[in-house]
A and B are shown apart, each in its own frame.
Chain A
Amino acid sequence: DQQVKQNSPSLSVQEGRISILNCDYTNSMFDYFLWYKKYPAEGPTFLISISSIKDKNEDGRFTVFLNKSAKHLSLHIVPSQPGDSAVYFCAAKGVRGSSNTGKLIFGQGTTLQVKP
């Protein structure tokens, strides 16, 4: 049973507009949620994270929102740029002492295409 889900395989937006990538999780025993960006033939790179005790975190053009009651998080990119075109993975870090201790569980990924 997949604990972290990204239900949209792909997203296409126009340059300058907002990109919103979504992620759902089923297990409450996570203390951090993270977003990674991946270009072809490279390893994923860390983008932004949020603690489970917060509902928003911003870093430049990137903002992550967490809705704990809905077990949902989203990544907003404003404004979107062609260089943002990549695969985006959300991930959840297991709480120490839980069955997911030491684990970082990833979703399936969403391919974002930003058109010039």
Chain B
Amino acid sequence: NAGVTQTPKFQVLKTGQSMTLQCAQDMNHEYMSWYRQDPGMGLRLIHYSVGAGITDQGEVPNGYNVSRSTTEDFPLRLLSAAPSQTSVYFCASRRGGGEGGYTFGSGTRLTVV
């Protein structure tokens, strides 16, 4: 099992550019989430999904879109990148129910200049 795979690992964007951060899991997990980590702010939830075809907003959804067309994939789209979106992004997945322990990917470090 590869677990949760995020690509790319590093990315530099210019202000106004768009891009998609990819996330895939091979554990047949129902739930998937995107977080961003910023110094002093911890991990903040951007968007999450409780199953294919179902997505919802987290704490900081503005400027990001998601879709969940398959159980395995949960891409995060930046529509028009801004310097405030410079961050480390983590994708995570878990099975439904129970203690809810998420498995995290290794992260994408994004810099917007």
> Which residue numbers of A lie inside 8 Å of B, CB to CB?
6, 9, 32, 34, 41-46, 49, 51, 89, 91, 93, 101-109
Contacts and interface: CB of A to CB of B under 8 A. Distances in A.
B21 to A, nearest CB: 14
A105 B99 contact: no
B3 to A, nearest CB: 9
B104 A104 contact: no
A9 B41 CA distance: 10
Contacts of A107: 42
A9, A49, A107, A108: residue with the most chain B Cβ atoms closer than 10 Å: A108
Contacts of B33: 103-104
Interface in B82-111: 90, 92, 94, 98-107
Contacts, number: 65
Given A6-B42, A46-B102, 6 more contacts: A34-B100, A41-B106, A43-B92, A43-B106, A91-B43, A104-B102
A7 to B, nearest CB: 12
17 contacts: A32-B98, A34-B99, A34-B100, A43-B104, A43-B107, A44-B102, A44-B104, A45-B104, A46-B102, A46-B103, A51-B99, A102-B48, A102-B56, A104-B92, A104-B100, A108-B41, A109-B43
Interface of B: 4, 31, 33, 35, 40-45, 48-50, 56, 58-59, 90, 92, 94, 98-107
A43 B33 CA distance: 13
A97 to B, nearest CB: 12
A43 B98 CA distance: 21
A108 B99 contact: no
Contacts of B58: 103
B41 A49 contact: no
